[in-house]
Amino acid sequence: MKNINKIIGAAAISFAMISCTTNPITGRSSLQLANNQEISAMALQQYRETLSKAKVVKGTTAAKSIQNVGLRIKNAANNYYRSIGREGDLTNYQWEFNLIDDKQVNAWCMPGGKVAVYTGILPITKNDTGLAVVLGHEISHALAGHGNERISQAMVAQYGGAILGSTISNGQMAGIFQQVYPIGAQVALLKYGRSQELEADEMGLYLMSMAGYDPREAQPFWQRMEASSTGNKPPEFLSTHPSPASRRADLEKDMPKALEYYRVAGGKI
């Protein structure tokens, strides 16, 4: 029995090592067991359902800005992944950027590149560079596979060794997906862990810089976001984020590298 347990344990460790993914921008490794194509398909269905129940804003200056800024960051990411020979990582991404008329101070990006920005966050972004901070952060959640990571954590917690034999059914996977990305308006409440938020901060700073947006504007944006808190309750966008002091320190640490990306993109230092 002990030998069997050792074999199972060794298999689990080997499986986990094989299923670890390394972020090419930050170097962070994470366990990603789920199939990205399946996740993207489920995300598309959830996204369509969410938009069908929301008031989507089209044709306004703000809506066009979200499209333009989002596409610039997406193109910068594509160029970077192509330059390091990992363009295959982006195969399942079909990008969409939509503005939703809602007073919530929030924005999100689902796996596969399905992005929503709420009008409630626009007074805080103020301009395209502030919007680039938000979109860079949210797009980073998707590119870093944070959805897959969270789904994988839930798979292990709920089904344990069953994942070694790939015995999780489509229905079970769909159930896990809906826990991570709730249906309809509740998708705006999706949560990431602190390590994932910190990675999205760092990666987002680099992506906005690669797209030609001044990363030095990230600090003022986060200060405006923190100032928008009402009483002791932070905006939903900050609910699982690191402390303001931690974020400021990390942004300063990552700024030299971000400024180099910005310089290469043609920005003025």
Whether residue 57 has pLDDT greater than 90: yes
Q: What pLDDT is attached to residue 231?
A: 62
Average pLDDT over residues 98-126: 95
pLDDT tens track for 20-42: 889 999 999 998 888 899 999 99
Residue type present at position 72: R
Q: Which of 38, 96, 138, 260 is flagged as catalytic?
A: 138
Nearest to 69 by CA among 144, 127, 7: 127
pLDDT tens track for 217-229: 999 999 999 888 7
Task: Give exposure, 155-184, as e/b (b: 16+ Cβ within 10 Å).
Answer: bbeeeeeebeeeebeeeebeebbeebbeee
Whether residue 6 has pLDDT greater than 70: no
Q: In terms of pLDDT, which residue wins out, 239 or 66?
A: 66
Instruction: Report the 10 Å Cβ neighbour count for 230.
Output: 8
Nearest to 62 by CA among 6, 126, 11: 126
Q: Give the rounded percent of residues in the chain with a pLDDT score beyond 70.
A: 81
Model pTM? Answer: 0.85
Nearest to 151 by CA among 48, 40, 263: 40
Give the C-alpha separation, 66 to 12, whole Å. Answer: 43
- Would you list the domain boundaries of the chain? 32-264
Give the C-alpha separation, 60 to 181, whole Å. Answer: 28
Q: What pLDDT is attached to residue 232?
A: 63
Vertex 261 angle, CA 238 and 65, to 5°? 55
pLDDT tens track for 146-174: 989 988 888 877 766 555 445 566 777 77
Nearest to 99 by CA among 120, 128, 77, 113: 120
Q: What pLDDT is attached to residue 171?
A: 75
138 is catalytic: yes
Q: What pLDDT is attached to residue 157?
A: 75
